[in-house]
Amino acid sequence: MTLTADQVKSLVLSLGFDVCGITGAGPLPEAEEALGLWVKEGRHGGMKYLEDFERRAKRFWESFPEAKSVIVVGVNYYSNAGCASETKPVGRVARYAWGKDYHRVIGKRLEEFREKLSEAAGRPVRAEICVDTLPLLERSLAEKAGLGFIGKQSQLLNPKFGPWLFLAELVTNLELEPDIPFIGSCGTCRICIDQCPTEAILPEGGIDARRCISYLTIEHRGEIPEALRPLIGDWVFGCDICLEVCPFTSKAKETKWPEFRPESGFGRRLDLVKLLEIPSNRAYEREFEGSALLRANRKQMRRNAAVVLANAESAGKDFGKAEKGRIKGAFRTEGRGQGRKDNLSSLDPHHLASLALEEGFNSRIS
């Protein structure tokens, strides 16, 4: 049978997805040109995989010449679950990583959708799943599929759920009626620009990843520039500031997906001392199995923890003798056999950050 766009959307929503839109398959020349210019200006930082996006996208579309439609789905992941006050040293985690790894959760649900799509069509349907795995500009596709518009902070702003949507796609050979592209803008609003502590959001909109807390704590492999460390505050993994201050967050609703609630994962804060005490890379991977936190490796997370601890120390936080002892012990243990003298008489901010960087990146801070 011939499936209509409305039938496909009904099937998507029956599987628990919060929004669905459809657009035509193929390159997005204007969006790809903007990405190329952004990369040429160096604003992508160390994300080298973006430098050959055009080549990878061209190769993908050539491998799927019969592609007709892109089904764009969105999952609301917002949670405002309470959190008990902490007396131990902790670091904040971006909302998207509070629960289980969305790549796995949404990917599995899309596999179910793909099977049901072929059943509904009464024939095998070719459909390629993308949850950050294909060279697709997902926010531009979502905008074209009528799901919202891209805000100044580069996130999709949806009229029902605000900026709190995971996006994923199914590229298919089904010819489906496309939705009308969403037309919208932030207008004169610049709250996210003014509230970003590192000034990572450009005056005309868009992100300079090299200054973005999310990039620095997750994607960036080297040392965090000294001038930016105090501005990271207590963010140990990612950052939600530009989303939280956005007026569209007034649209936010508690997620219906239990997998993305904090009790399904590691929650909104991480115990920094416990993080530092993880003894090996293998133990780190076991500890955070099934979590998006594994996007950053152990060396990066030790670096982040050290920066957050240093910021807390600078702000006058007193960890207490026992906690200080555990922190110093974690660095001493890591440094054994490496011929380095720690001289940890205090938790001096520069010294603490230096230790983490020396461990992972052989870098020095003057």
Q: Is 132 marked active-site? A: yes
Tell me the pLDDT of the chain averaged across its residues. 90
Q: What secondary structure letter does DSSP report for 254?
A: -
Q: What secondary structure letter does DSSP report for 345?
A: S
Q: Look at residue 326 in the predicted model and tell me its pLDDT.
A: 79
The model's pTM: 0.90
Residues near 362 by Cβ (< 8 Å), separated by ≥ 6?
Answer: none
Neighbour-count burial of 37, counting CB atoms closer than 10 A to its CB (0-12 exposed, 13-18 middle, 19+ buried):
exposed
C-beta separation of 265 from 97 below 8 A: yes
Question: In angstroms, rounded to a whole number, what is the distance separating the alpha carbons of residues 4 and 321?
Answer: 66
Q: Look at residue 338 in the predicted model and tell me its pLDDT.
A: 40
pLDDT exceeds 60 at position 206: yes
Section 35-42 average pLDDT: 97
pLDDT exceeds 80 at position 83: no
Side-chain-side CA neighbours of 319 within 13 Å: the count stands at: 25
* Three-point CA angle 328, 334, 336, nearest 5°: 100
Out of 6, 18, 101, 132, the active site residue is 132
pLDDT exceeds 60 at position 207: yes
Q: Which residues pair with 149 in a beta bridge?
A: 157
pLDDT exceeds 80 at position 363: no
pLDDT exceeds 90 at position 319: no
Residues near 81 by Cβ (< 8 Å), separated by ≥ 6?
Answer: 261, 262, 263, 268
Q: What percent of the chain has pLDDT over 90?
A: 81
* Strand duo 90-93 + 235-237: pairing: parallel
Section 119-125 average pLDDT: 95
pLDDT exceeds 60 at position 355: no
What pLDDT digit, counting tens, does each position of 326-351 carry? 777 777 655 544 434 433 334 444 55
Task: Tell me which of 340 and 10 has the higher pLDDT.
Answer: 10
What pLDDT digit, counting tens, does each position of 125-159 carry? 999 999 999 999 999 999 999 999 999 999 999 99
Backbone φ and ψ of 90, nearest 5° = -135, 160
What pLDDT digit, counting tens, does each position of 187-196 carry? 999 999 999 9
Give the tokens for residue 27: 């390159």
Question: In angstroms, rounded to a whole number, what is the distance separating the alpha carbons of residues 183 and 150?
Answer: 10
What pLDDT digit, counting tens, does each position of 272-317 carry? 999 999 999 999 999 999 999 999 999 999 999 999 998 988 777 7
Q: Which residues pair with 207 in a beta bridge?
A: 201
Q: Report which of 28, 73, 75 is spatially closest to residue 54, judged by C-alpha positions.
A: 28
Q: Look at residue 40 in the predicted model and tell me its pLDDT.
A: 97
Q: What secondary structure letter does DSSP report for 211?
A: G
Task: Tell me which of 362 and 50 has the higher pLDDT.
Answer: 50
C-beta separation of 96 from 238 below 8 A: yes
Give the tokens for residue 15: 């599987």
What pLDDT digit, counting tens, does each position of 229-246 carry? 999 999 999 999 999 999
Q: Report which of 216, 215, 236 is spatially closest to residue 226, judged by C-alpha positions.
A: 216
